[in-house]
Structure 1
Amino acid sequence: MIEFQHLTKRYARHRPAVDDLTCTVAEGRVTGLVGPNGAGKSTVLRTLLGLHRPTAGRALIRGRGYAELRAPQREVGAVLDAGARTAHPGRRVRDHLRWLARAGGLPASRVPAVLAAVDLDGERRAGALSLGMTARLALAAALLGDPAVLVLDEPSNGLDPAGAHWLRGTLRTLAAEGRTVLVSSHAMGELARTADHLLVIAGGRLRADAPVADLAPDGDPETLEAAFLRLTEAR
């Protein structure tokens, strides 16, 4: 479970990037953090992961701040830039994941499991991966510690329709295993097909905390898009 308790992040002389955010992200479902560009989504996730220090309030993962986790890679997996090429281009995918496992004190036996989970060939060179395959590698790295919590920032950016379809199914499977899955996006239509629950933010403030079915009872993505636009209008 993830908890935000009156979370506020203010940069010098600017309006708060995140303003008094209070909500809970439950396990066993995909929760979408959605808002227009500049709404504060990335700041929320980076503060949760200890990359930014909050001005006020707290962001907790299973009751603790990220810095207090005894074994962070075993408790939370994160993808902040799914399309970034972080592996050496000449290194095999399998070897890259083995290196990450060793650096994190994780068993090498996890490597075949995460490769299977993301349907990725471990013998391929990282430099030869498409954008979609690079996104799969990023998710594989996040899963190395078999974490109960997954945090993904705009994971579908740049994916083709087949890649986006694969990602939706994978995230739903991970949530069905009882994990807490928090996914940010500015694309309401994509989250309409993925998320069970939505946190809508704009201007750093929470505008809605509700199941997808409550925001669009008819299940129509256009209805959900209309609700999103209404909620995120300046006020």
Structure 2
Amino acid sequence: MANILVVDDEMGIRELLSEILGDEGHAIQLAENAQQARDARAVGAPDLVLLDIWMPDTDGVTLLKEWQRDGLLTMPVIMMSGHATIDTAVEATRIGALNFLEKPIALQKLLKAVQQGLSRAQESVRAPAIMPRPMMAAQVEETAIGASAMFAAQPQPAGIPSRMGGVPNGEGHGYTLSFDLPLREARDAFERMYFEHHLGREGGSMTRVAEKTGLERTHLYRKLKQLGVEPGKLAKKGG
């Protein structure tokens, strides 16, 4: 497990990176601006920093220069931006940034960059070995889920027949597929059943569920949050 500092003024980006890297087993510290990043660095050097370039108080490149000037750039820093030019990326690398990620950040690139950064830190500090992070399959459209939008899943106690017009799922999971619900409710109910089934089957592993369902894990996280599905609880049931 590594200690990773995520510095970004967008709350959605901070939360998403925290969820992804936290699921990989890392301890995540969040900062929404340069001052909070300075305070976090003053407490101690993290194993890795993900640093946004464009921030309201002090931009990431300026903060990187400060750390270099003050001898605080002792950890790998990966820059992030959705608007930076090639010149900005080159300047950040020249100052001491290890890598540069363009937003929206692809999951494979994120995990690869983090793994490389932690490996670089190990070489210089002799940190404990970090297990390689699993790579994700390419993003695939949710055609299967879209095609199944007319179905709905509702928990049914054993022995109770399905509603009129419903179709049993045939796998003994206690769900009933019904045509009686409005389309949006039916789609959400089916997707909830679909993901709960795969999460239970894979013991709550987001990596294996992403591969099974053909989704990039960034999208999978958002979908589960939208549906109110909690992987942790399903992992305990599956275990």
Structure 2 length-normalised TM: 0.30
**Between structures 1 and 2, the one with greater helix share:** 2
**Between structures 1 and 2, the one with greater strand share:** 1
Structure 1 length-normalised TM: 0.30
Compare relative contact order (CA 8 Å, sep 6+) and give the higher one, 1 or 2.
1
